[in-house]
């Protein structure tokens, strides 16, 4: 019995680990979108974060530099997006798509020399506790610091948006950039900051994949997680806590259906593989069906270009 329980604990731990990149990227994108900017470049920024993190790890042999470097590279990519959409007033959707295409191509090019190189072991915290406490040990302990950060992030984001002045200003800009500008808020600065923060978080999400989750470089290793993160933000109706729930469901069903495939259930593999997508959407739609709340959480100006009167 205690063996079974421990196994379930390990399974839950694995589910948590698999949802980390989604939580990080979606939390970052959530802040960006709350300021009224729709950045579809999440996938591109994630994969650039993944390759630059991995490459820096190989070159410097320092995981700290690798993690910081991945965030900086995500940030630089989002800065390009910011320059285009905020300063040159290009269309958000087209620019974001271009960013993703660029990121995927760029990462493949840089990554050519890093294929097949083994990753470095990332330090995991509280390993002794993980082994000594059955069930709860594998759930709460033996993870990387980034996982703990990721699980705190939605709550921090929620507090930041609801309780702080800066959060209020971001929501105001997302609601009506014209009104905000007339109130003396520097809309462009606020939006730039939110874009850069989103970029850094996407970079970190990529680093988690290439440094911790599957410590190696594989071309296109984000495998559409950036798009899932984008969808999570929308289906979670811009609520950070619901993003966390959505990411866990997605991660959970991904892991579970892998086990079901391994067991050899007589369900078509394609259906099992589609299950996480279907279930995540269903659950999020069900928990966010209050149309009043959706109205209040949706950034009204999402994707709109803002011109300042001169």
State the sign of the Cα–Cα–Cα–Cα dihedral 48, 49, 55, 56.
positive
User: Residue 255 corresponds to which tokens in the numbers above?
Assistant: 């892991």
Nearer to another protein, 12 or 180 (CB): 180
- Which among 53, 54, 56 has a CA at the least distance from the CA of 70? 53
Contact in structure between 147 and 160 (CB atoms under 8 Å): no
Min separation Cβ 135 and another protein, Å = 43
Query: Which DSSP helix (H) or strand (E) runs through 100?
Result: helix 92-111
Q: Distance between CA atoms of 26 and 231, rounded to whole angstroms? A: 9
Does residue 34 interact with another protein by CB under 8 A? no
Does residue 193 interact with another protein by CB under 8 A? no
Task: Tell me which of 42, 180, 194, 228 binds another protein, using CB under 8 A.
Answer: 180
Task: Tell me which of 5, 127, 168, 265 binds another protein, using CB under 8 A.
Answer: 168
Does residue 286 interact with another protein by CB under 8 A? no
Task: Tell me which of 169, 218, 275, 287 binds another protein, using CB under 8 A.
Answer: 169
Contact in structure between 129 and 145 (CB atoms under 8 Å): no
- Which among 201, 283, 169, 170 has a CA at the least distance from the CA of 237? 283
Query: Which DSSP helix (H) or strand (E) runs through 166?
Result: helix 165-175
Min separation Cβ 126 and another protein, Å = 39
Min separation Cβ 260 and another protein, Å = 38
Does residue 291 interact with another protein by CB under 8 A? yes
Nearer to another protein, 167 or 215 (CB): 167
Contact in structure between 268 and 207 (CB atoms under 8 Å): no
Min separation Cβ 189 and another protein, Å = 13
Residue 167: exposure state from Cβ atoms within 10 A (0-12, 13-18, ≥19): middle
Task: Tell me which of 47, 172, 196, 200 binds another protein, using CB under 8 A.
Answer: 172
Does residue 297 interact with another protein by CB under 8 A? yes
Total residues contacting another protein by CB under 8 A comes to: 24
Query: Which DSSP helix (H) or strand (E) runs through 265?
Result: none
Does residue 300 interact with another protein by CB under 8 A? yes
Task: Tell me which of 90, 178, 216, 304 binds another protein, using CB under 8 A.
Answer: 178
Nearer to another protein, 190 or 243 (CB): 190
- Which among 101, 203, 142 has a CA at the least distance from the CA of 17? 142
Nearer to another protein, 180 or 253 (CB): 180
- List of residues contacting another protein (CB under 8 A): 165, 168-169, 171-172, 175-176, 178-185, 291-292, 295-298, 300, 309-310
């Amino acid at each position: 019995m205690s063996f079974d329980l421990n196994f379930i604990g390990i399974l839950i731990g694995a589910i948590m680990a698999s949802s980390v990149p989604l939580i990080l990227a979606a939390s970052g994108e959530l802040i960006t979108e709350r300021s009224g900017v729709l950045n579809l470049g999440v996938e591109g920024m994630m994969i650039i974060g993944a390759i630059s993190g991995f490459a820096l790890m190989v070159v410097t042999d320092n995981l700290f530099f690798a993690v910081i470097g991945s965030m900086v590279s995500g940030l630089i990519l989002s800065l390009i997006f910011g320059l285009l959409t905020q300063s040159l007033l290009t269309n958000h959707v087209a620019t974001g798509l271009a960013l993703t295409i660029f990121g995927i191509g760029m990462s493949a090019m840089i990554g050519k020399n890093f294929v097949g190189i083994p990753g470095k072991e990332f330090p995991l915290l509280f390993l002794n506790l993980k082994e000594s406490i059955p069930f709860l040990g594998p759930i709460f302990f033996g993870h990387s610091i980034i996982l703990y950060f990721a699980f705190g992030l939605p709550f921090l984001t929620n507090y930041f948006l609801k309780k702080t002045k800066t959060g209020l200003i971001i929501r105001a800009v997302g609601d009506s950039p014209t009104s905000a500008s007339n109130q003396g808020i520097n809309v462009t600065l606020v939006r730039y900051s939110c874009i850069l923060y989103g970029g850094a978080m996407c970079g970190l999400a990529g680093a988690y994949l290439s440094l911790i989750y599957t410590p190696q470089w594989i071309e296109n290793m984000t495998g559409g997680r950036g798009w899932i993160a984008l969808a999570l933000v929308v289906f979670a109706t811009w609520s950070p806590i619901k993003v966390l729930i959505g990411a866990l469901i997605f991660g959970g069903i991904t892991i579970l259906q892998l086990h079901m495939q391994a067991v050899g259930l007589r369900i078509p593999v394609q259906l099992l593989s589609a299950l996480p997508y279907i279930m995540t959407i269903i659950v999020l739609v069900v928990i966010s069906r209050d149309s009043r709340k959706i109205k209040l959480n949706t950034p009204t100006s999402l994707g709109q270009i803002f011109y300042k009167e001169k």
